Structure 1
Amino acid sequence: MDNSITVTICCLTYNHENFIRQCLDGFMIQKTNFHFEVLVHDDASTDKTQEIIREYVAIYPDIIKPILQEKNQYSKGIRTILASFCYPKAKGKYIALCEGDDYWIDPLKLQKQIDFLENHPEYAMVYTRSNVYNQSKCKMEDNLIGREFNDFNDLLIINRIPTLTTCIRTNVLMEYTNDIKPEKHNWLMGDYPMWLWIAYHYKIKFFPEATTVYRDLPESASHSQDLQKRERFALSVIDITTFYIKKFDIVPSKEYWEAVNASYYHYYDTYIRKGNYKKARHYAKIIDLNYVTDRMRKKVRLFPIRYIKFKIRTLFN
């Protein structure tokens, strides 16, 4: 760790030519009484993202440090880009995260976060609220993302932490990667497992102000129009929480099980409406009827009748 660098900003990009300037500008407006660096990892973009990054490197050679891949690492099966390529190069005592299609708007974001962490060593991480820009509608949404959570069990129910708002102690991130070894898991997101691990071991501070803008893109994993893509993402979230429940020997709350079974029911109902009874049958088997509403319970209990009718129809068609 370089004592002259207080914060390392890690930025991941891929085909962000329309957004990366605004992202990098958000870093460069930061007003701090300490030095920071920006590690920009581009995963072999096929557009002009790398060209734009090089422009900024020429202007800020002592701050912006590019990691420009010639071959796409994600397609090679590397899901832990930050842990594999960015964290090992980080010189800062703290790490802040922001992807190349999001951006910061508060010039004092880093200063306020570092002031707090320096004065409160019992906290491992801070985060804030974030504005949301709907790219499809070309407008800022009214609702903010980012909410305070009470404890680990609360965070198990839903991820309340916007990644682009966070600032974390580097040594804590190293502890996480050494303990969990995220590269050995096939999780579809890298942030939520980190937040859960940190929340279990340390205190996390929430600031209520919005310091950033999250860009809501229609083809992100959580908002995709592709049903299978959304389903894989939702099941990966459950896989992550199940891992930590077992690892830490946690007894989840009733609210957690309600959230899990609501997710299962959503895909059960979706596949019923699409006429995919094979997939619907899978979810009908795993839904725990103790944790769903009366309406949901009634519809799931009717599935055997629906399935028999479906099988009869297929026999005579």
Structure 2
Amino acid sequence: MRELPDENNITASWTSEITQPLVSIICTTFNHVRYIEYAISGFLSQITSFPFEIIIHDDASTDGTADIVREYAELYPNIINAIIQQENLYSRNLKRDSYVFPLLNGKYLAHCEGDDYWTDPDKLQKQVDILESDPGCSMCCHRAQILYEDGSTRLTPDFGCLHPFPENRIFYQGGSSVATATMVARKELYINRPEWGKSSPVGDMPLKLWYSENGRIAYLPDVMAVRRLGTPGSWNDRIRGTEKEKDYYVRMVHMLNEYMAHTSKRKMDVLLKTFDYEWELRKKFGIKKFLVKANVIHSRSKYYWFFGIWLLKSIQKKVEKIVRK
């Protein structure tokens, strides 16, 4: 863990012309006692010319995570705002929005889960500079390192410096090519998310779709964050093999159905992603009835045509894996 500057050193570079935070960093955490300090360290190491704030929402952790969050909030009272739940919201199907929204003062929002972290002290400055220079840019993202629990790593694809970033790349590698920890976006879009996005069991996928619908996305090739996969106690780990995993796939298909009914773009990549979720429901839970609505692609014949494309792509992926081995 790097040595952290105190509050005065962090704010010394902030311009006096901006009195409100320009960026609100949102960090959601639950039982991340082994990782949360990495996340907080990455936030506090940011060197910017503008003020930023850090909102950390702890969903009633039981492993000491909340104690660490409180400690940092006391050390950085003018930067960190801690929300410590006494009862777990997720287990009651409740959203954090009503607790977090009133505290967001920034023009932009930066996202990072409590088990991920940032590695470049210039990350926020680079991304905000792009957003400030282009009012039509809805989100800026970048490359990341994927860190597995066994210590192995890989990098997300290098798409180069793209502005705008092609929308179909959002679903590249199952959506992992754009990690949540790399996203900085305009707050008004986040606050005014549509109903179809609110039905999703996770927040990042509908956010990426919504941001791409409402402006250009900028992509930087710099590796400036780490996304952990396979973390014990993570959301994915907790639902794996349970009814909640089945519910996740069903709700994701319904969300994408609603999105395709809402948009006029009829994106092939979105439809192919719904078939990925459909296949998981068939393979893991024996659900054979397709949930994708044919009317979102106008006709039954097109439905089967798209399914054929998905099947060919799935076979191609398996062949590529075999060749790599």
TMscore range, shorter length: 0.7 to 0.9
Between stretches 32-41 and 213-222, larger displacement belongs to 213-222
Check 1:182–1:265 CA distance in 2 against 1; reply closer, same or farther (3 A cut). closer
In the alignment, does 2:32 pair up with 1:16? Answer: yes
Q: Percent identity at matched positions?
A: 28
Q: Over aligned residue pairs, what C-alpha RMSD do you find? A: 3.1
Asked if 1:180 is matched to 2:195, the reply is: yes
Compared CA separation, residues 27 and 284, structure 1 to 2 (3 A): closer
- Describe how 1:188-267 pairs up with structure 2 within 5 A: 188-218=201-231, 220-222=234-236, 225-226=240-241, 228-253=243-268, 255-267=269-281
Query: Which of 21, 28, 31 is residue 5 of structure 1 equivalent to?
Result: 21
- Residues 253 and 274, structure 2, Cα contact 8 Å, conserved in 1: yes
Aligned position for 1:110: 124
Name the residue aligned to 2:55.
Answer: 39
**Most deviating of 39-48 and 282-291:** 282-291
The number of equivalent residue pairs is 279
Tell me by how many angstroms 1:155 deviates.
4.1
Partner SS state of residue 55, structure 2: strand
Which residue number corresponds to residue 146 of structure 2? 132
Amino acid corresponding to residue 260 of structure 1 in structure 2? T
8 Å CA contact retained: 1:268, 1:283:
no
State the alpha-carbon separation in 2 of the partners of residues 249 and 165 from structure 1: 28
TM-score by length of 2: 0.75
* C-alpha distance in structure 2 between counterparts of 1:72 and 1:270, whole Å: 28
Q: CA deviation at 1:175?
A: 2.6
Residues 115 and 58 from structure 1, CA distance in 2 versus in 1: closer, same or farther, beyond 3 angstroms?
Answer: same
Cα displacement (A) at 1:145: 6.2
Contact 1:221 1:233 in 2 (8 A): no
Change (3 A) 1:50 1:193: same
Provide the C-alpha distance between the structure 1 equivalents of 2:135 and 2:40, rounded to a whole number of angstroms.
29
Q: Deviation at 1:280?
A: 5.2
Q: TM-score, normalised by structure 1?
A: 0.76
Gaps of 5+ in 2: 1-17, 295-302, 313-325
Q: How far did residue 115 of structure 1 move?
A: 1.1
Deviation digits for residues 37-68 of structure 1, max 9, x if unmatched? 11111111112111111211222111111111
Please tell me whether residue 51 in structure 1 is matched to residue 63 in structure 2: no
Residue in 2 that maps onto 1:306:
none
Query: SS of the residue aligned with 1:121?
Result: coil
Q: 1:291–1:117: structure 2 CA closer, same or farther, 3 Å change rule?
A: closer
Task: Point out the structure with max Rg over C-alpha.
Answer: 1
Q: Secondary structure at the match of 1:124?
A: strand
Instruction: Determine the C-alpha separation between the residues in 1 that align with 2:293 and 2:187.
Output: 40
- 2-side partners of 1:196 and 1:235: how far apart? 18
- Residues 113, 66 of structure 1: CA spacing in aligned structure 2 closer, same or farther, 3 A cutoff? same
Q: 1:215 to 1:146 in 2, by over 3 A?
A: farther
What's the counterpart of residue 60 of structure 1? 76
Is contact 1:268-1:284 (8 Å) kept? no
Distance change in 2, residues 1:269/1:14 (3 Å): closer
Counterparts of 1:284 and 1:194 in 2: how far apart (Å)?
22
* SS across alignment from 2:155: coil
Note if contact 1:262-1:292 (Cα within 8 Å) is conserved in structure 2.
no
Q: Which residue of 1 aligns with 2:183?
A: 166
* 1:110 CA drift (Å): 0.5
Q: Which moved more, 1:187-196 or 1:256-265?
A: 256-265
Distance 1:283 1:198, change over 3 A: closer
Q: Return the offset for 1:132.
A: 1.0
Is residue 2:158 matched to residue 1:143?
Answer: no
Distance 1:62 1:3 in 2: 12
